[in-house]
Amino acid sequence: MGLFSGSPTFLAETELHGEISKIILEAKSQLLIVSPYIEPGETFIRELERKAKRFAEADAETNEPQAGVGLYFRAEKLAEYRSEAWFKRLDSAGVFLGVIERLHSKLYVNDAKALVTSVNFTAGSWVNSYDVGVLVPAGSAMCEQIEAYLDKLDEDVRPVNGASQARQVRAGPKKRGTRAAGAARQGFCLGCGKPHAFDLARPMHFPCYQAKQPERFCHQCGARASVTVKAPRCESCFRR
C-alpha cells in the first residue's frame, strides 16, 4: 500500500479547520505539521506536548525509535520564534522543530491521512482567512507525489532544537510510518546532519562522502558526536 488510501476530498473553511484538529487529535504514532508561520494557541500546544510525550513513552517501551511529532516552519522566522513560549514548550516536550528556507507550503500529516492546504498553523488563519485544502487518505493515487514531496522536505529541513530532541521524533526527520509496514527507518548523514535513510553500511549522503566532509553527527540520533563511517553511531545509541 502507498502512503495514503481512498479518494481525495476537497475541504473549505469550517470543514478544513475541523479536519486539522482531527489530524492532530487522532494521530496514533506520528504527526507532522508543515507551515511557514506558527502561532498554535494553547489548546494545540497542550495537545502537541501530550502527543510527543506519548510517542516518547512508546519508544521507551519498544527500545526502538519510532515516528513522533514534527513541526517544520520558515527559516526566516527562527530568530523570532526562539523567544516564543510555544517554541520553548514544544522543544522541552520533545517535538522535532525544523526550519526550511523559503518554505511556503502547508501540510498536516498523521498515520492515516494528509491534508494539503492553504491554511497556516496560526490562530489568525482560523478566523481571518478564506482557505481550502485537499484531504488525502491512505491509498490515493496522489500518495506517491505527496510522499516524494515530503521526502524532499526531509532532505532540506534543518533541526533547530536541542540535539537530544533532534533524534528520530518523526514525522520530523524520519520517513513517515504512514508508508507500508516495514518502511525504511530514517537516520542522519554523518557529514551534514540532515535526514538520511538509516543504513549502517552507507551512513552519509553521497555528495558529503564524495567531498570527504568530516563525520560529525550520529547516524541514529543526529547529535554531534565522535563517529566514523565504520562506527557511525554515538556511544549512547550504540549501547541501546
Question: How much is the average pLDDT of 73-91?
Answer: 95
Q: Which DSSP letter does residue 185 get?
A: P
| pLDDT score for 60 | 59
193 and 150, same structural domain?
no
Q: What is the pLDDT of residues 28-43, one digit of tens each?
A: 878 999 999 999 999 9
Residue 1 lies in a domain: no
Distance between CA 224 and CA 113 in Å, rounded? 33
Same-domain pairing of 219 and 155: no
Q: Is 9 exposed, middle or buried (0-12, 13-18, 19+ CB in 10 A)?
A: middle
pLDDT interval class at 64 (50, 70, 90): low
Does residue 85 form part of some domain?
A: yes
Question: Are 23 and 74 members of one domain?
Answer: yes
- Higher-pLDDT residue of 232, 211: 232
Q: Looking at the structure, do residues 91 and 137 belong to the same domain, yes or no? A: yes
Digit-coded pLDDT (tens) for 123-137: 888 777 899 999 998
Q: Are residues 125 and 46 in the same domain?
A: yes
188 and 150 within one domain: no
pLDDT at 107 over 90: yes
Residues 98 and 203 in one domain: no
- Total residues belonging to the chain: 240
Mean per-residue pLDDT, 67-80:
91
9, containing H or E segment:
strand 9-12
Q: Could you give the CA distance from residue 231 to residue 146 in angstroms, rounded to a whole number?
A: 34
Kindly state whether residue 137 falls inside one of the protein's structural domains: yes
Q: Is 122 exposed, middle or buried (0-12, 13-18, 19+ CB in 10 A)?
A: middle
Does residue 121 carry a pLDDT above 50?
yes
Residue 128 lies in a domain: yes
Backbone angles phi, psi at 57, to 5 degrees: -65, -35
CATH number (domain holding residue 36): 3.30.870.10
Report the pLDDT averaged over residues 91-118. Answer: 92
Please state, in angstroms and rounded to a whole number, the distance separating the CA atoms of residues 102 and 238. Answer: 36
Are 146 and 191 members of one domain? no
Instruction: Copy the grid coordinates of residue 181.
Output: 509496514
DSSP label at 112? S
Residues 90 and 152 in one domain: yes
Has residue 190 been placed in a domain? yes
Boundary-marking domain end, from 159, 193, 223: 159
User: Sorting pLDDT into bands at 50, 70 and 90, what band is 14?
Assistant: confident
Q: 228 and 122 in one domain?
A: no
Task: Work out how many domains the chain is built from and give that number.
Answer: 2
Regarding whether 218 and 140 lie in a shared domain, the answer is no
pTM of the predicted model, to two decimals? Answer: 0.68
Q: Which domain holds residue 204?
A: 184-240
Beta strand extents in 76-183 (DSSP E only): 96-100, 106-110, 113-117, 121-122, 132-137, 158-159
Residue 84 has pLDDT above 90, yes or no: yes
45 contacts 89 by C-beta, under 8 angstroms: yes
